[in-house]
Amino acid sequence: MINDTGIVVAFWVLAVTTVGCALMVVAVRELIHAVLFLALSFVGVAGIYIVLSADFVAVVQVLIYAGAVAVLMTFAVMLTPAADRRNSETGFWLPAAVLAGLVLVVIVFVAYDTSWNLSGRAAFPATAASLGEAFLKPYVVPFEVASVLLMTAMVGAIVLTKEEEGDDA
Amino acid sequence: MPEMLLASVKLEHVLILGGWLFAIGLFLALSKRNAIGILMGVELMLNAVNVTLLAFSRFVVSPRPLDGQVFAVFVITVAAAEAAVALALAVAVYRHRQTVNIDEIDLLRW
Amino acid sequence: MNALLLTLITKHWYDIRDLSNLSAKIQQLIADAGGPHWLIYVVSGLLGAGGIVAFVGGVAIINIWVERRVVGRMQSRLGPNRAGPFGLLQPVADAIKLMQKEVLQPKTAYGLIFTVAPIMFTVPGIFLMAVLPWGRNMTLANLDVGVLFLLAASSLGALAVFLAGYSSNNKYSLFGSMRVIAMLVSYEIPIVLALLGVVLFAGTMNLGDIVLFQEKYRVLMVLLQPLPFLIYFIAISAELNRTPADIAEAESEIVGGFHTEYSGMKFGLFYAAELINAVVVSGIIATMFLGGWWAYKLDEIVPGWMIYIGKIYTVYFLFVWTRGTLPRFRIDQLLAFAWKWLTPMAIFNIVLVAAEVLVWDETGWSAGFMIPAFVVVNNVFAVATVFAFMRLLMPKFERFPTGLRYYSTIDVPSLPAATPADTARTGVQAV
């Protein structure tokens, strides 16, 4: 439970902004505007991470999501010029909305119904050093596997988008 | 009601925020016509999952509370890799079919 | 009057020398008067933000003159000299000219993004100044992940550049922004690795603590880490789109790059944002490599922030010097330089720095011996690496080159004048 007034106000402002931007991603009619609102919601989520005292993860979120994934999506929109740029839904949007609403109701119910094993812990001190230790001591194997995964993804992306073997020299 | 909300930030509030983001991402992933729109939904869902993980790491009793943050960093890494491959796929499909509209990409091979 | 001013200054020298004492006094005042807890944060935040915005405004004005006049003198010509003594009112003339120009916007451009892109380009540069330490206790936001914050904000600027080119719906703008994105993404890796060398030595990502590290061991980081300084300087001038790496806005090549379609104050915002970014980056270099507000006990006489501003403008003069001297590189030369030269050099440097830090921790010898040893080793390593790379990678000089060896393969999809989607959106027919 966080009781500091400033942090509570910041949390609510950030929460409303993030959910608002996510709803705008659904609602806007242009794909490139939707990508921009998505980038804004990423930055809002980074603010939520700071409220939850995860400063390192927040900066990593801005660096990777807003700085790289959003640029990737803009690239994809740019490299598909003759495609449909309207952000429209398929015919099945009503069942999808019902399902999403059901998921939300279940999550809200579980959040309020479960008795959580809360600890009255204060906020974490600077997390970067402890996270570094965690990555290199208990979690070193997933760390190395993640780097192999990234390399595989890079190679895969390049192979998928390479042109045919036409001679363009 | 406003005083109740402004008093403190509890675990339930953050979980509901994560739930909203997840539901919106689910709607995007299930109902958008453009492949890039679907990818946007998937990324929103992964962000919602991260919010939930960090909320648990902050508020719940645990022998090693920073594990939630480690997990969140790994989720961000995998999400970035998956976004790259998914967008490469979309561009590759576009090269052959001149469209990224998933309603029109409905043949297993052509 | 002068005597009054003199006594005021000498009595409150402690406050002026380190403005954080002034803000600490104001915070004490508020706490004594029984103000609410959050008011202290708001007031100190506003004070710091006001100071930063004042500095940014001054920078945007002064640097226009510095760029044009100093570059002119370096190129053996006069530079602006009509708008005031030594052309000092030239920035005012430029600002008035830009303000009274008509802001044109193409009909098929994406209107909202077209307007937002210059703002998105300016804002990260300004709020990066919040993490820079201006004095001993004078940081607006003393983040523990300050270095990462710098990198995150520069990647936000990259997104803005790309959106500017894309939203113009113009082939040349798109081409320019694609080149810029390829360059920005390639140069982010040497930047991160160069700063990582400094962070490894200092043991912290907090910018204030990096300056304190340099103060504690009485050594400037540029002596300890010459190769990262070089790598960072070159890579960041590519990220800033400054000559010799300014293919993004090469007026002689692609009309104007990503800001072709911008006119009036929107273009003025791009221009000012580039100057502000240059000064912010000079601030980063001054903090991490040149010691920030500390200068071998000089900061007991001169206020720390004055020393810092002096160092900022020294580094900025280096940037202007490079601009006035070197010709522009080709895009494939730039990308090859980033991937084949800077990234491997930075990686070798990381390996060496990690080994040095390990040796220092394990043996526990005194700093008085280790620091000079590291200075010698790192400088020798820097010179040796640069020479090794030159010997191995530089092609032989051909007086009359035959055949194309370097070939740029960046492909841009051809854009019609108005796609059906554009026609549906704006009503402009295709030609």
**Chain C contact present for A65, CB below 8 A:** no
Per-residue confidence (pLDDT) for residue C161, from 0 to 100 = 85
Give pLDDT, residue A26: 93
Q: A108, A101 in Cβ contact below 8 A?
A: no
Distance between CA atoms of residues B46 and B21, nearest Å = 9
d(CA C386, CA C227): 9
Whole-number Å distance between alpha carbons of C126 and C200: 27
Q: Are B8 and A118 a contacting pair, CB within 8 Å? A: no
Of A61, A86, A111, the residue at which a domain comes to its end is A86
Count CA within 13 A, CB hemisphere, residue C172: 14
For residue C251, the cross-strand partners are none
Note whether residue A95 is domain-resident: no
List the single range of A42-51, A87-96, A150-159 with lowest mean pLDDT: A87-96
Q: How far is CA C356 from CA B92, C217, C344, C345, C359, in A?
A: 46, 16, 18, 17, 5
Q: Interior CA angle at C152 toward C147 and C156, to 5°?
A: 150
A153 part of contact set with chain C, CB < 8 Å: no
- Could you tell me if C393 and C344 are in contact, meaning their C-beta atoms sit under 8 angstroms apart? no
Compare all CA atoms of chain A with the CA of B70 and give the residue at the minimum distance.
A131
- On whether residue A152 sits in a domain, the answer given is yes
In this complex, which of A68, A81, A128 lies closest to C415 when CB atoms are compared? A81
Report d(CA A26, CA A33) in Å as an integer: 10
Distance, CA of C273 to CA of C120 (rounded, Å) = 10
Mean pLDDT split into 10-residue runs, chain C, 431 residues:
73 66 74 73 83 89 89 88 85 88 82 87 88 84 88 86 82 77 88 93 91 90 93 91 72 64 84 90 93 82 85 93 86 87 94 93 85 93 93 78 57 63 74 65
pLDDT of residue C200: 92
Using alpha carbons, list the distances in angstroms from residue A143 to A135, A147, C193, C200. 6, 7, 19, 19
Using CB atoms, list chains with 3+ pairs below 8 Å to chain B. Answer: A
pLDDT of residue C410: 56
A169 touches C409 (CB < 8 A):
no
Please check whether residue B44 is in contact with residue A42, taking contact to mean a CB–CB distance below 8 angstroms. Answer: no
Cβ–Cβ under 8 Å, residues C305 and C23: no
Q: Do chains C and B touch (3 or more CB pairs under 8 A)?
A: no
**pLDDT for position A168:** 45
| Distance separating alpha carbons of residues B51 and B42, to the nearest angstrom | 14
Query: How close, in Å, is residue C133 to chain A by CA atoms?
Result: 18
Distance from CA of C96 to the nearest CA of A (A): 32
| 3-state class (DSSP) for residue B101 | strand
State the residue for tokens 């009595």. C11
Beta pairing partners, B34: B101
Which of B34, B54, B89 is facing A31, going by the closest CB pair?
Answer: B34
CA distance A23 to B20: 10
Count of A–B CB contacts within 8 Å? Answer: 259
Residue with tokens 């303000």: C99
Chains B and A touch (3+ CB pairs under 8 A): yes
Domain positions in chain B = 2-97
> Which fold would CATH assign to domain B2-97?
Helix Hairpins (1.10.287)
The total number of residues shown for chain C amounts to: 431
Closest CA–CA distance from residue C415 to any residue of chain A (Å): 8
- Encoded tokens for C152: 């995150």
**Full residue range of the structural domain in which residue A12 is found:** 1-86
Residues A62 and A141 in one domain: no
Cβ neighbours for B94, distance < 8 A, ≥ 6 positions apart = A79, A80, A83, B100
Nearest CB to C156; choose among A67, A78, A168: A67
Per residue in C393-431, pLDDT (tens digit) is 887 777 766 665 555 555 555 666 666 777 777 777 776
3-state helix, strand and coil shares in percent for chain C, rounded to the nearest 5: 70, 0, 30
pLDDT at A167: 44
Q: How many CB pairs under 8 A join A and C?
A: 79
**Window from A18-22, A88-92, A151-155 with minimum mean pLDDT:** A88-92
Q: Which of A73, A85, A78 is nearest to A28 (CA)?
A: A85
Report the alpha-carbon distance of residue B84 to residue C185 in Å, rounded.
14
**CA C80, C81, C83 angle in degrees (round to 5)?**
90
Domain assignment present for A97: no
Look at C421 and A78 and tell me if their CB atoms are within 8 Å: no
Q: Is residue A19 part of a domain?
A: yes
| 3-class SS of residue A118 | strand
Contact between B30 and B36 (Cβ < 8 Å): no
pLDDT of B110 reads: 60
Which residue type sits at C243? T
Taking CB atoms and an 8 Å limit, are A84 and B100 in contact across chains? yes
Q: In this structure, is the dihedral angle defined by the CA atoms of residues C259, B80, C186 and C353, taken in order, positive or negative? A: positive
Question: How far is Cα A12 from Cα B49, in angstroms, rounded to an integer?
Answer: 19
Q: How far apart are CA B76 and CA B54, in angstroms?
A: 12
Q: What is the DSSP letter of C342?
A: I
Whole-model pTM? 0.88
Token output for C173: 């703008």
Does residue A169 surpass a pLDDT of 60?
A: no
The CATH number given to whatever domain includes residue A81 is 1.20.120.1200
Residue C416 per-residue DSSP state: P
Q: What is the mean pLDDT of residues A44-56?
A: 93
pLDDT of C141: 83
Based on its alpha-carbon atoms, the radius of gyration of chain A, rounded to whole angstroms, reads 21
pLDDT at C231: 95
**Three-state DSSP string of B9-69:** ECHHHHHHHHHHHHHHHHHHHHHECEHHHHHHHHHHHHHHHHHHHHHHHHHECCCCCCHHH
Q: Which of A69, A88, A163 to mutate to test the interface with B (most CBs of B within 10 A)?
A: A69
Give the whole-angstrom CA distance, residue C254 versus residue C249. Answer: 7
Given A90, A134, A157, which is nearest B70 (Cβ)?
A134
* A67–C155 C-beta distance less than 8 A: yes
Residues forming a β-bridge with B32: A89
Strand-pairing partners, residue B101, are B34
**More confidently predicted of C266 and B74:** B74
Residue C124 and residue C153 in contact, taking contact as beta carbons nearer than 8 Å:
yes
Asked if A82 and A15 sit in the same domain, the reply is yes
State the average pLDDT for chain C. Answer: 84
Query: Using CB atoms, which chains have 3+ pairs under 8 A with C?
Result: A
Where do the H-state alpha helices sit in A3-126?
A: 5-27, 31-51, 55-61, 70-78, 93-113
Report how far apart, in Å, the C-alpha atoms of A55 and of each of A43, A128, B69, B80 are: 13, 8, 10, 19
- What DSSP state is assigned to residue A89? B
H/E stretch holding C119 reads: helix C111-127
